[in-house]
Amino acid sequence: MTYKLLHHTGCSTSRNGLALLQENGVEPEIRKYMNAGEALSVDELKDIARKMGASSPREFLRDKDAKKFEIPDDLSDEKLYEAMVENPRLIQRPIGINGNRAVLGRPIEKLLEIR
């Protein structure tokens, strides 16, 4: 299986997560989801949530950006997925994906759990 990393080069935690994987012999396929050409779809976000065992996209929502962009606390999951597609800054990172498992790399050591 190919380990995939949802990565944002402008995020120090994401960069540190990538470095940790590489230090441990994992060369992930990197998806720079913040770039328009590599943006995530609603279906992909739902699949990631399923692989994480997440009951809601709120489990990988960047709270500080949700406040900044005035995402209401009572926004439906469907609308939140749509908001994440429109503004990928709302997605917490890094996220590691390997086969049918995914994990939010907070702390980054969690990325090693699915290698």
- Which token pair is 79? 């609308």
What are the angstrom distances between the C-alpha of 1 and each of 93, 97, 114?
21, 10, 11
Q: Does the annotation mark 57 as catalytic?
A: no
Q: Out of 3, 4, 11, 42, pick the active-site residue.
A: 11
Residue type at 63? D
Q: At 103, is the secondary structure helix, strand, or coil?
A: strand
**Residues with catalytic roles:** 11
